[in-house]
Amino acid sequence: MIDQLILASSFLLSPNSPAPVDQLVPLVQESPLFVASEQGGQIGNSCDPLGDDCDSGEGCYWDGGGFSCLFADPGLSEGEPCGFINDCAGGLLCASAEVVPDCQGSACCAAFCDLNDPVCQLEGTECVEFFEEGNAPPGLEGVGLCGLP
């Protein structure tokens, strides 16, 4: 796992009032993952970030505790600056600029990848573990993120 990984999208949202990146607080002191504190949220059905199991108009997003199908808006591409959990297209994560090469904002879209078939499209990235070793939920052990090595 990338030691300095700070996820900009690991917070809950509702379609009417998404939480901005600057409201992120540590989930646990030792974890590089962050979630918004006291932010209610509308969480969709669980999903696989490497699959295509969300309804039309939705994407599979990390919500701070798992992967959920949420409305996708506006569907930014890998490497583009983002500020909310669902700014990026499905299958992408709004991650800290420290993880995405040449990011022109405080956070940019990064692609999820399969650790068993580690292919990353964005130049300068490689597929690294998304979860700390031994902490992946059952069935998600192969989920990685394309980021700086």
Question: According to the model, what pLDDT value does residue 33 have?
Answer: 32
CB atoms within 10 A of CB 98: 16
Grouping H, G, I as helix, E, B as strand and the rest as coil, residue 134 is coil
Nearest Cα neighbor of 50 from 127, 110, 111, 103 is 111
What pLDDT score does 50 carry? 93
Instruction: Enumerate the domain spans of the chain.
Output: 1-110
Residues of the chain with pLDDT under 70: 1-44
d(CA 79, CA 122): 7
Output the pLDDT for position 65.
80
Q: Are 143 and 66 in contact (CB under 8 A)?
A: no
Whole-structure pTM over 0.95, yes or no? no
